[in-house]
A and B are shown apart, each in its own frame.
Chain A
């Protein structure tokens, strides 16, 4: 198994995107399925497996993230087949979208598989830059403005990450030399880092960069605005794939930071995530359209994944991560149909679906909407139980038990606001408003079915055992 096999689908996609034949988009959708081959092979190989020397190493964590991302990629390319049926898009923009999607995919493979802080950053930057143009495929002034916004804020965020990486590298270089960029060596020698303060400073700055990219405090609305202005598959890519690449970086850096000083890391992340969820819960309460609602909910779930991870519950974090990566793109792709009769029409959005395809569509969307607020048997229900359990265990062993339990209760109260809002929206979608006929196409329905099957597969005993073995 070598790197070229993993990159081949993206290279084919890039090449095919230059063809002006109208049938080319079907080849592009098929190409995304090809990526599953090398990833399944990666699963079967012994771990850690060196894909490219010590630079790209596949371990259990990144193979899982890569699989989840590739399934999201397949779903998005399937939904793209009918994009022109829901929105106005020129054939040229379509082709360019695929071209940049291929570059995005290359960046992500490097970022996810990297065992090297520098390569991680290069991949992330490449993915970020390619997304800028994907936003721009929507030829509206709002999308144009948001593409520039993304370019500038994204550049600041990745620059902060690079800034942090340089400081972390500087802190470990006296003992590891040029190998101080490698995640595995840093993890092994974390306790020997001569200047832990410098490392922690670098970690904090890199983490702020990653949190900005994920829409955490104080940049809560920038992602929502961008996703609102761009075509819905872009939002699905953001929530399902790009954020995966960011969060895997956080997992890698925080594994080292946990060994350097766990208490500092926990307090920093705990305060940051509570602050984020505090702001986001009220923004969700006021959200008036699907895109912003789902986007802000994505920020909330990312914050939960991060806090579960640092609370010592990697199983809960990874289960939550997988469930969110399938649910959120599914919901974003559904907005193409849900908003087909007016952008801000929540009331009655789930009514008017006729025939078998229509019935399956509204049933699946209802399930996704209820699953995202963690109603059982959603994988999120189980991940939150494990995650909050771990947080309480951490609180019990800390010196500030009462304050921390109080903070956890406050967090639960904020989550209940989000729960209440989603239930109200679901009821409005199903039982209020006028009934207008809407069309659902086969390819987007297939994408939703793939996401639903993947979600169920997450709850299989073998999948849960795999996730537990990562922690």
Chain B
């Protein structure tokens, strides 16, 4: 089940890279977060870690539901461009994505020997980090860049779950707080842009 969810986590991120519509991108981000939250719930239950179960539930509520909803509202309020064509052409991106995956598996090989549990998942979370960076790079519009930044947080969260069997609860909650603060700042930045127009 964990393998299946982690596969879907990666797949939703890859699909997001090829998306050309903003709302569809938000949907894929939501799916990505849902898979992450479910993973935290399942792994947390299997190792009997209540903190991980709580953070998994918060992930689903905040990242899979609240943040996509807020971003969709913001996009309507500030009339974002909804046609978001990636700067990297599909035929190149389709070669780049597997190259990143193979490269990160090769890159993280020495690390995976040192981690007893879920060693391959560490490689997947590192590749997710690179794919999120690619998502930020391949778009000129601000909205997909924000989604790229949020996906990067998801990749780091996955790394936290897989490499360390979960970080301390305090840190997880702090990260959520910072994420919400980021959304507030993003809202303010857009707000000013609108005032100027």
Contact = CB atoms under 8 A, between A and B. Distances in A.
Interface stretch (B14-22, B94-102, B166-174): B166-174
Would you call the interface of chain B mostly helix, strand, loop, or mixed? helix
B145 interface: yes
B141 to A, nearest CB: 11
B170 A144 contact: no
A133 B188 contact: yes
B136 A152 contact: yes
Given A118-B170, A167-B163, A173-B164, A132 B114 contact: no
B192 A170 contact: no
Contact of B192 (A144, A178, A194): A144
A147 interface: yes
A156 B152 contact: yes
A81 interface: no
A125 B181 CA distance: 9
Nearest to A180: B164
A463 B175 CA distance: 37
A129 B189 CA distance: 11
Contacts of A262: none
B111 interface: yes
Contacts of B167: 118, 166, 169, 181
Interface in A111-170: 116, 118-119, 121-122, 125-126, 129-130, 132-133, 136, 139, 141, 144, 147-148, 151-152, 155-156, 159, 162-163, 166-167, 169-170
Nearest to A125: B178
B88 to A, nearest CB: 17
Contact of A133 (B149, B153, B170, B189): B189
A213 B132 CA distance: 19
A178 B166 CA distance: 9
B71 to A, nearest CB: 15
B171 A118 contact: yes
Which bracket fits the contact residues of B? 35 or more
B159 interface: yes
Interface string A18-60: 0000000000000000000000000000000000000100000
Q: In the complex, which of the residues B115, B129, B136, B171 has the most CB atoms of chain A within 10 Å of its own CB atom?
A: B171
B111 A163 contact: no
Interface string A421-443: 00000000000000000000000
A165 B192 CA distance: 34
Contacts of A148: 142, 189
Given A119-B170, A167-B111, A198-B114, A129 B192 contact: no
B152 A197 contact: no
Given A133-B185, A159-B152, A181 B168 contact: yes
Contacts, number: 99
A119 B172 CA distance: 10
A122 B114 contact: no
B182 interface: yes
Contacts of A125: 178, 181
B185 A151 contact: yes
A393 interface: no
B183 to A, nearest CB: 10
Contacts of A155: 149, 152, 182
A383 interface: no
B177 interface: yes
Given A155-B152, A166-B156, A195-B114, A119 B171 contact: yes
B110 A197 contact: yes
A70 interface: no
A129 B170 contact: no
A385 interface: no
Interface of A: 55, 116, 118-119, 121-122, 125-126, 129-130, 132-133, 136, 139, 141, 144, 147-148, 151-152, 155-156, 159, 162-163, 166-167, 169-171, 173, 178, 181, 194-195, 197-198, 201
Listed from nearest, the 7 A-B pairs whose CB atoms lie closest are: A118-B171, A122-B174, A195-B114, A170-B163, A125-B178, A170-B164, A155-B149
19 contacts: A118-B167, A121-B174, A122-B178, A126-B178, A130-B185, A132-B189, A133-B188, A136-B188, A148-B189, A159-B129, A159-B156, A166-B159, A167-B111, A170-B164, A178-B168, A181-B171, A195-B114, A197-B110, A197-B111
